Homo-oligomer: A and B are copies of this chain.
Amino acid sequence: MSTVSFAEIINKRKLGLEHTPEELQYLVSGSVSGQLADYQISAWLMATYFNNLSKKNTAELTAFMRDSGETIAYPENLLVVDKHSTGGVGDKCTLITAPIVAACGGHIGSLAGRGLGHTGGTLDKLESIPGFKVFISKEEIVKNVASSGLCIAGQTKNICPADKKLYALRDVTSTVDSISLICASIMSKKLAEGIKALVLDVKFGSGAFMKTIEEARELAQWLKEIGELNGLKVQALITDMSQPLGRYAGNALEIKECVEILQGRAFVENDIDFYSDTRELSLQLAAHLIYLSQIAPSVEEAYKLAHEKLQNGEAYSKYLDMCHNQGATKNTKLPEAEFKQTIKAPQSGYITEINTEALGYACVDLKAGRAQSGDLIDPANGIEWHFKKNQPVKAGDTLFTLYSNDSQLLLPAEDKLLKALTFSDSPGTNYKLIEGFLT
């Protein structure tokens, strides 16, 4: 296919027409081989922003993207599952869900990503554990999942090169926010994992990419259909990210939270268990995965089993297995920040709105997150919050504790955090962690 005929493919997208599979295959192979010029790809991407691909075309694109690189192949008798979150602030559920699933007899093999912008990434969190290796071979991933029931690793270099290429172009051409392209990007990588079932945590609210429930539901529906058209079993949870999850955002701090939850502990301040939402969401995700793993006859039964394995320490034991498998140094402490600073409430009232995205960007200011891929982060840095939405606070109450090895980073983060809060005289609308399910 020549330059001229790819212009015709761009034109079809511009007019909102259906592509043939061959056209999408050429887009993918031409992107990876470099045969297709970046300027033509990016024109197609922008046209796709305005005229989404059909679900059929999106599923085809997804499959070609999966097949653009290597894929993981598990033994046929291993029903491997995974979860995927669309990203949030303080979202560390994978690190609790995966050990629970393994403790229940399931097999979870997750290729996770790094944090970028306001959202954190599972790989960064794991790398705050001294010695923990996230980049291991395909063979090791398969071995760990088969032997211990869980493995969370970084994508190998050759997974979905088409996605890497297209994402890099989308990033600089303002074409990230296309539902077809989002679905193809997410699902191609999940399909390359060799899994048979997937549970999605699609978030909405101020800390999520999708700001409204409707957008989140639409994305969940798309992701589910694109997965299913490619032979994957998919269920989705629609969850509220209008406040950060749990107690901490920041890599080592989030690991600390996970370990304490896996150890069966709570963290109570002002009669609120700050671990309850992380714990509950992790259990719900685990329940759906266990159900899809055909270990329990219903999600409800699966939830009971998950709860039991979390309470009796078997999940924690699986977490330790994973750390051991991936080289974590035994009995070493997580990194801790040298400087701490509290932020007090400037007034009394109910915190009815939290700009959770701004909270994520305060983590970036603290070098607990990245503005751009490649930025260095400090695993010890992060934020602890001491309130939940609609809780009454008094002027002078501690709202946040900032953690940093560089005291100069504290002030800009503090300013951003106070601006992120809305104080009202009465509580706002009720917060509901899990808004719905797509099963």
* Complex A-B: 14 CB contacts under 8 Å: A3-B172, A4-B172, A6-B172, A7-B173, A7-B174, A10-B174, A14-B49, A37-B38, A38-B39, A39-B41, A39-B169, A42-B42, A46-B46, A47-B50
How many copies of this chain does one complex carry? Answer: 2
Residues of A within 8 A of B (CB): 3-4, 6-8, 10-11, 14, 37-43, 45-47, 49-50, 169, 171-175, 372
Query: Separation in Å of the A9 CB from the closest CB of chain B?
Result: 8
**Bound complex: CA A139 to CA B41 (Å):** 43
Query: Separation in Å of the A2 CB from the closest CB of chain B?
Result: 10
**Bound complex: CA A361 to CA B173 (Å):** 36
Query: Separation in Å of the A49 CB from the closest CB of chain B?
Result: 7
B175 touches A43 (CB 8 A): yes
A40 touches B172 (CB 8 A): yes
A10 touches B43 (CB 8 A): no
Contact of A40 among B4, B42, B49, B50 (CB under 8 A): B42
B-side contacts of A372, CB under 8 Å: 4
B39 touches A172 (CB 8 A): yes
Query: Separation in Å of the A208 CB from the closest CB of chain B?
Result: 19
B-side contacts of A40, CB under 8 Å: 42, 172-173
Contact of A14 among B6, B37, B46, B171 (CB under 8 A): B46
Nearest opposing residue in chain B for A4, CB measure: B172
B-side contacts of A39, CB under 8 Å: 38-39, 41-42, 169, 172-173
B-side contacts of A175, CB under 8 Å: 14, 43
Query: Separation in Å of the A1 CB from the closest CB of chain B?
Result: 13
Query: Separation in Å of the A372 CB from the closest CB of chain B?
Result: 8
Query: Separation in Å of the A173 CB from the closest CB of chain B?
Result: 4
**Bound complex: CA A37 to CA B39 (Å):** 8
With most chain B CB atoms within 10 A of its CB, the pick from A40, A42, A45, A372 is: A42
A171 touches B7 (CB 8 A): yes
Query: Separation in Å of the A32 CB from the closest CB of chain B?
Result: 15
**Bound complex: CA A42 to CA B46 (Å):** 9
Query: Separation in Å of the A17 CB from the closest CB of chain B?
Result: 12
B46 touches A174 (CB 8 A): no
Nearest opposing residue in chain B for A13, CB measure: B174
**Bound complex: CA A173 to CA B48 (Å):** 13
**Bound complex: CA A171 to CA B7 (Å):** 8
With most chain B CB atoms within 10 A of its CB, the pick from A8, A11, A43, A171 is: A43
B-side contacts of A37, CB under 8 Å: 38, 172
**Bound complex: CA A305 to CA B6 (Å):** 52
Q: Say whether, besides A43-B43, A46-B47, A47-B46, A174 and B38 are in contact (CB < 8 Å).
A: no
Q: Say whether, besides A14-B49, A49-B14, A173 and B38 are in contact (CB < 8 Å).
A: no
B-side contacts of A7, CB under 8 Å: 171-174
**Bound complex: CA A10 to CA B11 (Å):** 19
**Bound complex: CA A173 to CA B42 (Å):** 9
B-side contacts of A4, CB under 8 Å: 172, 372
**Bound complex: CA A14 to CA B171 (Å):** 14
B-side contacts of A46, CB under 8 Å: 10, 14, 42-43, 46-47, 50
B-side contacts of A6, CB under 8 Å: 172
B-side contacts of A47, CB under 8 Å: 46, 49-50, 174
Nearest opposing residue in chain B for A43, CB measure: B173
**Bound complex: CA A174 to CA B50 (Å):** 14
**Bound complex: CA A360 to CA B227 (Å):** 48
**Bound complex: CA A12 to CA B39 (Å):** 19
